[in-house]
Amino acid sequence: SIKRFLALALTACMVLPLGACGSGKSGSSLTGGKRIIRISHAQSETHPEHLGLLAFKKYIEERLGDKYEVQIFPNELLGSAQKAIELTQTGAIDFTVAGTANLENFSPVYQIFSMPYLFTSEKAYIQTMNDTDYMEKVYNSTDEAGFRVVTWYNAGTRSFYATKPINSPEDLKGLKIRVQQSPASIAMCNAFGAAASPMSFGEVYTAIQQGVINGAENNELALTNNKHGEVAKYYSYTKHQMIPDMLIGNVKFLKSLSPEEYQIFKEAAALSTQVENSAWDDQVASAKATAQNDMGVHFSDVDLTPFQEAVAPLQKSMLEKNPKIVDLYNHIQEINQKVSKEGSKS
């Protein structure tokens, strides 16, 4: 398949002698004198993240186009998130979009985002993520692993969907539910009473189709952009997580940039977030309409209380077991409270 071919070509590029594929710098290529910057992500070409990355590319090429060409590889073409993170660590590619669940193994602070019902509103989530002064401290925490977060993307609110309706935690009992490959996601799913089945995003469709799992949990775009609505017809608004996606960059590459270039990359990253965020709500609304009208997916609102109660002990034990998340947890509680006060005033 094209996926395999690209992955092989990249690997070949990395093992061939210097010069065969361009400069040795970070293992990436120079073509016609231009340094090629490769970005991997897991979504389709209509997804808000792809639109954000197109803005990133345009901004950089308009300002530094004589030096850099940005190439975007969507649809896990270069491999699943975990694979793409490895490629970014070694510098085989320069940037990858990956959810924080995939970053937990590199820096335990990222476990915080897997904590169910962490944010009390979407507004609080977005305010937290846009607090760049605070988040920069978190973003540097993976430098030793060879990559650093440069910006975040909204990946919506996650809810369960399955081949049968889920109205209460009782309904999750005995169901095999796919979760992201992170210890905190596994704990989250088991705390709800389901059997967690960790696997990469690209494997989910076939796993549901073949009955290996009964469902998964994600935002609404997974139903349409990733076609999961073809195989799972019941989406229940349990709204248990808001897990951001992160644009991560190879640290050596970022440090090789001049201060002026670095500034342009940071501006491009911030712009990509704006573009991504502003496309998000509309795309969720249209994904929901498409899933409902064209795919026959049933959406239901559920009483959140029993779901919240089921995972309350997990919130507590996460805080006890992982001191690295406490500061960010407290910071988020302040934002939660501030936002809910503002809401009650208006």
Residues that bind ligand GCU (CB under 6 A): 42, 81, 99, 155, 180, 201, 218, 222, 245
Q: Could you give the CA distance from residue 145 to residue 152 in angstroms, rounded to a whole number?
A: 19
Q: Of 245, 208, 214, whose CA–CA distance to 227 is shortest? A: 208
In the bound complex, what is the minimum distance in angstroms from residue 196's beta carbon to ligand GCU? Answer: 13
CB of 155 or CB of 325, closer to ligand GCU: 155
In the bound complex, what is the minimum distance in angstroms from residue 81's beta carbon to ligand GCU? Answer: 5
In the bound complex, what is the minimum distance in angstroms from residue 42's beta carbon to ligand GCU? Answer: 5
- The owner of tokens 């992500």 is 41
Q: Could you give the CA distance from residue 116 to residue 123 in angstroms, rounded to a whole number?
A: 16
Q: Of 265, 250, 278, whose CA–CA distance to 56 is shortest? A: 265
CB of 68 or CB of 106, closer to ligand GCU: 106
Class of residue 18 by CB neighbours under 10 A (exposed 0-12, middle 13-18, buried 19+): exposed
- The owner of tokens 């019902």 is 117
In the bound complex, what is the minimum distance in angstroms from residue 79's beta carbon to ligand GCU? Answer: 12
Q: Which residue(s) pair with 178 in the sheet? A: 197
Task: Please name the residues in contact with 144: beta carbons below 8 A apart, sequence gap of 6 or more.
Answer: none
CB of 26 or CB of 100, closer to ligand GCU: 100
In the bound complex, what is the minimum distance in angstroms from residue 68's beta carbon to ligand GCU? Answer: 25
CB of 68 or CB of 153, closer to ligand GCU: 153
Interior CA angle at 109 toward 117 and 201, to 5°?
A: 65
Q: Could you give the CA distance from residue 123 to residue 332 in angstroms, rounded to a whole number?
A: 11
3-state secondary structure of 105: coil
CB of 81 or CB of 115, closer to ligand GCU: 81
In the bound complex, what is the minimum distance in angstroms from residue 7's beta carbon to ligand GCU? Answer: 18
CB of 94 or CB of 245, closer to ligand GCU: 245
**Residue spans of alpha helices (H) in the chain:** 2-15, 48-64, 81-90, 122-130, 132-139, 169-172, 183-191, 204-209, 221-224, 251-256, 259-295, 304-321, 326-345
CB of 115 or CB of 155, closer to ligand GCU: 155
In the bound complex, what is the minimum distance in angstroms from residue 185's beta carbon to ligand GCU? Answer: 9
Q: Could you give the CA distance from residue 226 to residue 220 in angstroms, rounded to a whole number?
A: 10
In the bound complex, what is the minimum distance in angstroms from residue 100's beta carbon to ligand GCU? Answer: 9
Strand 176-179 relative to strand 195-198, pairing: parallel
CB of 29 or CB of 226, closer to ligand GCU: 226
